[in-house]
Chain A
Amino acid sequence: MSLADWEVVIGLETHAQLNTRSKIFSGAATAFGAEPNAQACAVDIALPGVLPVLNRGAVERAIRFGLAVGGRIAPRSVFARKNYFYPDLPKGYQISQYELPVVAGGSLTIRVGEADKTIRLTRAHLEEDAGKSLHEDFHGKTGIDLNRAGTPLLEIVSEPDLRSAAEAVAYAKALHSLVRWIDICDGNMQEGSFRCDANVSVRPRGSDRLGTRCEIKNLNSFRFLERAIEFEVRRQVDILEDGGAIVQETRLYDPERDETRSMRTKEEAHDYRYFPDPDLLPLEISPAWIEQVRSEMPELPQAMRGRFQSEYGLSAYDAATLTASLETARYFQEAVAAAGKDNAKLCANWIMGDLAARLNREDKDIGAAPVTPRQLAGLAKRIADGTLSSKLAKEVFEALWSGAGTDADAIIEARGLKQISDTGALESIIDQVIAANAKSVEEFRAGKEKAFNALVGQAMKATKGKANPQQVNELLRRKLGA
């Protein structure tokens, strides 16, 4: 048997840190990068006698997510205690949701190659994050920073619908884009605001029974997610092909060695001894609240993709690329608003082409692009009306990028970049070129097409690139009687 004889089955559990100002059950700040324990209040460090009070902002973000994925928002959900011992969990339990999560079901559409695939979601529930343990040497002790304790998380669980590492990455990227799109999570993976656990198993192709799975924890980049799954699949296939059995366990991905290794034998689910938290009453979400949140939702990427195709005549690929992030979609929409609907395709091409390449080269986000959507629109207009050739347009774009001018028209004016469209002026230049290049003219008449190109080149050179190449072509052919 080979790798191709096995089917990979993956489900992802994603923790999205909700971008509230305060914690889920206390009024302490959630800002990143504070001094250790400066944002850990009496509730977060579990002093005796404190009580949790639920943050309305965290619930509202969960509702927003539920609506965005078409899930069911529970009219009544319950918080539960998940019990385990670890020093960065001062209460001895994590407040989470178990039997009645705030969101059930829903789905997310991902793009796999040329096709769309729908990934079902199991649930999304609210919970609190734990603190951080620092194992560097503090005289043989472990240091505990509880600033992160109590930070609101939305744990989003997918069904085991993913069939490859590439699909898992496509799903994680779509989810990452969505949580930022609806503004519930900043998506900063380096700071741990968005992290994935992958449940991976393999089974012989054609089998409908799930294999024993392993859970790979805390994958905080798309690249690590992909490589960890690829490694884990090979590891499991090797064991099974050697006649072995997979042990259900939690594994950790080590990016330096590019391998996963066993973390601990996972305590069985019932060892967490979940039970409803007596400190918290059931959470009730009224239909009126859901409708209010719905009315404030932005247009979702899926809907926007459809609209870009029908309204602007963009291809499915272009529409998908432009809606990959809210920033890109906003940029495009602002550019089109300024350039006009007829120039939408032109704007799209520039955003996905020159602008994307330049941003990529300088490792910048589109939100920080030195060329504003309005400036790009100004440029597109001058391309559309024939003022700029594509070569001159690139020069104007560079000038806008480096801040050499405030808008395309000012740069065109200041640098005299206007394309020569005056036929009379162009004709006299072409006459000079014909007179000065008798040899090329001779060769062309003898049937050498290459010589014609040389003449076009000479004419372009004489106009410093400002002539419309197509016009030069036509005039030259006419004058040479071709």
Chain B
Amino acid sequence: MSLTLDQVRRIARLARIEISTTEAEATRDQLNGIFRFIEQMQAVDTTGVEPMAHAQDVAQRLRPDQVTEQDQREAFQAIAPDVEAGLYLVPKVIE
């Protein structure tokens, strides 16, 4: 399997990354290199091996349903680019 230039551009758009044609071409070649590794791995017979959802074979630890976090809005908003009335301000979103 290999990616086309259009597919690379589409992935970049979904990730909101602006790339030039030169960058897109370089990225395509690098990604295709990774796909070649994957192809090798897929050649391994995995019959009877249960797919893993995580690299570690342990289960999720749960925390009790308790409020442990205090309000730190002031500290967080001190490093935000733009705030008003307690809100984070971002460029206008138009649907």
Contact = CB atoms under 8 A, between A and B. Distances in A.
Interface of A: 20-22, 26-29, 35-42, 45, 47, 53-59, 76, 78, 83, 85-87, 100, 133-135, 138-146, 263-264, 271, 273, 276, 278, 280-284
Given A22-B68, A38-B73, A271-B14, A283 B60 contact: yes
26 contacts: A21-B65, A22-B65, A27-B66, A27-B68, A28-B67, A28-B69, A36-B87, A37-B77, A38-B71, A38-B73, A53-B61, A56-B65, A76-B59, A133-B93, A135-B93, A138-B87, A142-B91, A143-B84, A146-B88, A264-B95, A273-B14, A280-B54, A280-B60, A283-B59, A283-B60, A284-B60
A37 B77 CA distance: 9
A39 B71 contact: yes
A188 to B, nearest CB: 19
Contact of A54 (B53, B60, B89): B60
Interface in B51-89: 53-56, 58-69, 71-73, 76-77, 82, 84-89
Contacts of B88: 37, 87, 143-144, 146
B87 A281 contact: no
B63 A45 contact: no
B66 A22 contact: yes
A135 to B, nearest CB: 7
Contacts, number: 126
Interface of B: 14, 16, 53-56, 58-69, 71-73, 76-77, 82, 84-93, 95
A20 B65 contact: yes
A248 B58 CA distance: 41
A37 B54 contact: no
B54 A278 contact: yes
Contact of B58 (A22, A40, A273, A281): A281
A59 B61 CA distance: 12
B69 A41 contact: yes
A35 to B, nearest CB: 6
B30 to A, nearest CB: 18
A78 to B, nearest CB: 4
Q: Which of A42, A139, A142, A284 has the most CB of B within 10 A?
A: A142
Contacts of A40: 73, 76
A325 to B, nearest CB: 25
Contacts of A55: 62-63, 65
Contact of B59 (A85, A271, A282): A282
A386 B86 CA distance: 65
Q: Which 6 A-B pairs have the closest CB atoms?
A: A57-B65, A27-B68, A143-B87, A36-B86, A41-B69, A56-B62
B66 to A, nearest CB: 6
A27 B67 contact: yes
Nearest to B54: A281
B85 to A, nearest CB: 7
A283 B85 CA distance: 39
Contacts of B65: 20-22, 55-58
Contact of A281 (B59, B66, B82): B59
Contacts of A53: 61-63
